[in-house]
Amino acid sequence: MNLDVRKEVRKLYRDLRRVLSFSGESPNMDFFISSLTEYNPFNSTEEIIEWLQELNRKESFHVETIPLAEMRNWSFEEWTGDLRHESGGFFSIRGLKVITNMGPVKEWTQPIIDQPEIGVLGIITKKINGILYLLMQAKVEPGNIIPFQVSPTVQATRSNYMQIHGGKPTQYLEYFMDESRATVLVDHLQSEQGARFYRKRNRNIIVRIRDEEDINPASRYRWMTLGQVKHLMRFDNTVNMDARSVISNISYDPEKKTRLKQVREDELCECLENSPLVTKPVDEFKTGMAISGHSNSPSKHNDEELLHRLSRDKFNCELITRLIPLNEVRDWRRSPNEISHVEGKFFSVIGLRISAADREVHFWDQPIVKQVDPGIVGFFLRELDGVMHFLVQLKMESGNMDLFECAPTVQCITGSYQKGERPRFVSDILQASEAQVILDTMQSEEGGRFYREANRNIMLRCGENSPIEELPLYHWMNMKQLKMLLKFNNSVNVESRSLLAMI
């Protein structure tokens, strides 16, 4: 592509100011433009795909399942039965007792991952010729289905970056620990899987280094536009959960509005079509999502009403949880090989032995959660008053910090239910023949804690004749409102964030 890139970026910026009604520079618009383009003088999208394929062909990462009792440096505590690392760091497998007034089951116990430390999921960005690029890592995890996946610049637990494992230091960590090294663009604490972790959070952070600062990426790192990362998300199990989580926090709503006029879709479409930087085609869904995220767009419920509805639902929810010894958990059994449910449902905890040539530590053992059946997470979308809305479920999970989190319309492991007992909308999303399929991919969960786990991620656009009434605990929200709630820690769950990142 033979372009005067800086000139084209300035022109696109100028046109977007007119169409989206904002003034001045805008970090959110830098993200927006980066998400629209795959222009990259360092690595084309095809070259990035080939690089990942080559890494996976030459994979020097070996994983084998072993009995829990044979894991080095891990043991079951004598009095509690809890599974712990000898250092006291990393994480442990403990028991949890749950009492609630929500759902068909009001009380239960289960194993759960207890990892109280807050990890860092961070992406370094830099403007090059006016375009914002992201420094992404190809990272291998023991539970990954495809060994190397696109990951944040830094993806590390506190135990890892404090080097409790005795291994090498975490590359590029200083850009997130020393605020003088970079400008913070995004910084939120976000939850992990509430059914598997007990009140687990990670710091999702994006920083921008100075344009003149030169980082020569290490061998497992590449500069990518946000558009290239989103292109890779179309493929199964290619961009990992942590990268999707961080990217979901990005807002594309310009900060300094000059007027309250609603954005016209035809003007936005024309603006994007006329830029040689923008990846084509520019379709109605892309422009519709941009408008859904713009603060001048109407919503079914205004923000105050929506927050009232969420507060009301939380007020009506009771969730009492208490960590208990693992040996007091009912309906689960511990064998030399695994911890599993007596009916073979839900998940099990198994042991792994890993050898890796290019990780901070070359050899280690660890427990890991193995899901019994694949899950499904999906949003129904529909235009209301000309603006795209998501049907959001308020979902209570045992490890949540704050009762409910905003979840997709459907989020379940279908194999855990008899056909007649499935949660709402599961059959609708699996058999929605009249809906437009926006997204349908298999996306992996976090490979450091989950063994070869992938869930089907679906987004379906419903027609104008589909029902819009809201059942209890379901609310229509536009993109702007979901992005607003993302700024409130522990409000939008990781399954929703995975889907939002791919738009």
Task: Give tens-digit pLDDT for 56-81.
Answer: 998 778 999 999 999 999 999 999 99
**CATH number reported for the structural domain that contains residue 378 in this entry:** 3.90.79.40
Share of the chain above pLDDT 90, in %: 86
Same domain (yes/no): 327, 388: no
Residue 348 covered by a domain: yes
Residues with Cβ within 8 Å of 261's Cβ and at least 6 positions away in sequence, in order, are 21, 296
Of the three residues 331, 355, 370, the one that is the final residue of a domain is 370
Residue 36 covered by a domain: no
Of the three residues 328, 352, 370, the one that is the final residue of a domain is 370
Same domain (yes/no): 394, 445: yes
Residue 76 covered by a domain: yes
Q: Is residue 483's pLDDT more than 90?
A: yes
Predicted confidence at residue 381, as pLDDT, reads: 97
Same domain (yes/no): 330, 421: no
Cα 52 to the center of its chain, rounded Å: 20
Tokens of 68: 């829990």
Mean pLDDT of 162-190: 88
Full domain range(s) for residue 77: 67-96+319-370
pLDDT, tens only, 193-238: 999 999 999 999 999 999 999 998 999 999 999 999 999 999 999 9
Same domain (yes/no): 391, 482: yes
Specify the range with the lowest mean pLDDT, choosing from 139-153, 165-179, 343-357. Answer: 165-179
pLDDT-based confidence at 455, cuts 50/70/90? Answer: very high
Q: Is residue 149's pLDDT more than 90?
A: yes
Peptide bond between residue 281 and the one before it cis (omega within 30 degrees of 0): yes
Q: Is residue 492's pLDDT more than 80?
A: yes
Share of the chain above pLDDT 70, in %: 97
- 221-225 and 119-128 beta bridge pairing: unpaired
Please give the sequence-ordered ranges of beta strands (E in DSSP) within 131-192, or none if there are none: 131-140, 148-151, 154-156, 183-191
Predicted confidence at residue 2, as pLDDT, reads: 67
pLDDT, tens only, 423-438: 889 988 888 777 899 9
Residue 455 covered by a domain: yes
Q: Is residue 472's pLDDT more than 60?
A: yes
Predicted confidence at residue 167, as pLDDT, reads: 63
Same domain (yes/no): 379, 416: yes
Same domain (yes/no): 407, 323: no
Same domain (yes/no): 439, 347: no
Q: Is residue 28's pLDDT more than 60?
A: yes
Predicted confidence at residue 292, as pLDDT, reads: 98
Residue 52 covered by a domain: no
Q: Is residue 470's pLDDT more than 80?
A: yes
Q: Is residue 7's pLDDT more than 90?
A: yes
Q: How far apart are CA 189 and CA 186, in angstroms?
A: 10
Q: What secondary structure letter does DSSP report for 344?
A: S
Q: Is residue 131's pLDDT more than 90?
A: yes
Mean pLDDT of 316-343: 96
pLDDT-based confidence at 1, cuts 50/70/90? Answer: low
Burial category of 470 from C-beta neighbours within 10 Å (exposed 0-12, middle 13-18, buried 19 and up)? middle
Q: Is residue 369's pLDDT more than 60?
A: yes
pLDDT-based confidence at 245, cuts 50/70/90? Answer: very high
Q: Where are the alpha helices (H) located in 3-125, listed in sequence order?
A: 5-20, 27-36, 45-57
Same domain (yes/no): 377, 366: no
pLDDT-based confidence at 162, cuts 50/70/90? Answer: confident
Total domains present in the chain: 2
Same domain (yes/no): 442, 475: yes
Same domain (yes/no): 354, 376: no
Predicted confidence at residue 165, as pLDDT, reads: 55
Same domain (yes/no): 483, 395: yes
pLDDT-based confidence at 158, cuts 50/70/90? Answer: confident
Specify the range with the lowest mean pLDDT, choosing from 60-64, 188-192, 280-284. Answer: 60-64
Residue 29 covered by a domain: no
Closest listed residue to residue 394, CA positions, set 457, 312, 301: 312
Tokens of 155: 């993806």
Rounded to the nearest integer, the mean pLDDT of the chain is 94
pLDDT-based confidence at 418, cuts 50/70/90? Answer: low
Predicted confidence at residue 423, as pLDDT, reads: 86
Q: How far apart are CA 371 and CA 373, in angstroms?
A: 6
Residue 381 covered by a domain: yes
Burial category of 144 from C-beta neighbours within 10 Å (exposed 0-12, middle 13-18, buried 19 and up)? buried
H or E segment and range at residue 252: none
Q: What's the whole-model pTM score? A: 0.95
Same domain (yes/no): 310, 328: no
Q: What are phi and psi of 345, to 5 degrees?
A: -95, 175
Residue 137 covered by a domain: no
Predicted confidence at residue 163, as pLDDT, reads: 64
